[in-house]
Structures are given as C-alpha cells and as structure tokens.
C-alpha cells in the first residue's frame, strides 16, 4: 500500500470553503437587508400593537441571524488559517 510521502495540499479545499463562505454571506446579507426593510415597513405601518410587536421580533431575528452568519464566517476563517500551509 502506498502512502503519501509529504503533507497534502489543502489550498484547494481552503479556497472552496472561503468561496462558499463569501457566497453565503452575500446571500444572507442581501436577503437579510430585504427582509429587514419589509419588517421595518411592517412595524411602521402596523395599526395593531400585536402586529408591531411581531414585526419587532422579526427584526430582532433578522439582526441576530445576520450577526450569526458573520461570526460563523469569522470562525471558519480562523479555523482554516490555523491549518499550516503545505511545504510543497
């Protein structure tokens, strides 16, 4: 059985992960911004107090979700940068 004699090249998988992170952040950012605008308009135009409270809760969820994606992206960047580079 033949084994690898050197360290594997992880740059391809690191680039793939970084690309998917950027795509995910862009999607969440654009969809999150649109959802935030609609929830904000819903809160402003709502007549009932219950509807305004629901809109406020949706705004909070959108903000927390957007922050969560940013934190996850930063965590993955930290983890992928902690992998030592290939010596080849």
Q: What is the 3-state secondary structure (H, E, C) of the chain?
A: CCCCCCCCCCHHHHHHHHHHHHHHHHHHHHHHHHHHHHHHHHHHHCCCHHHHHHHHHHHHHHHHHHHHHHHHHHHHHHHHHCCCCCCC
Digitized pLDDT (tens) for each residue of the chain, 88 residues in all: 556 566 667 778 878 888 888 888 788 778 888 888 888 888 888 889 998 899 899 889 888 887 887 788 788 778 877 877 655 5
- Residue 87 confidence (pLDDT): 56
Q: Please tell me the pTM assigned to this model.
A: 0.58
């Amino acid at each position: 059985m033949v084994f690898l004699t050197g360290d594997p090249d992880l740059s391809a998988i690191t680039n793939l992960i970084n690309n998917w992170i950027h795509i995910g952040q862009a999607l969440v950012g654009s969809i999150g911004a649109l959802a935030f605008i609609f929830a904000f308009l819903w809160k402003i135009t709502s007549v009932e107090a219950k509807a305004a409270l629901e809109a406020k809760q949706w705004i909070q969820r959108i903000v927390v979700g957007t922050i969560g994606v940013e934190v996850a992206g930063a965590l993955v960047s930290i983890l992928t940068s902690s992998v030592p580079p290939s010596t080849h």
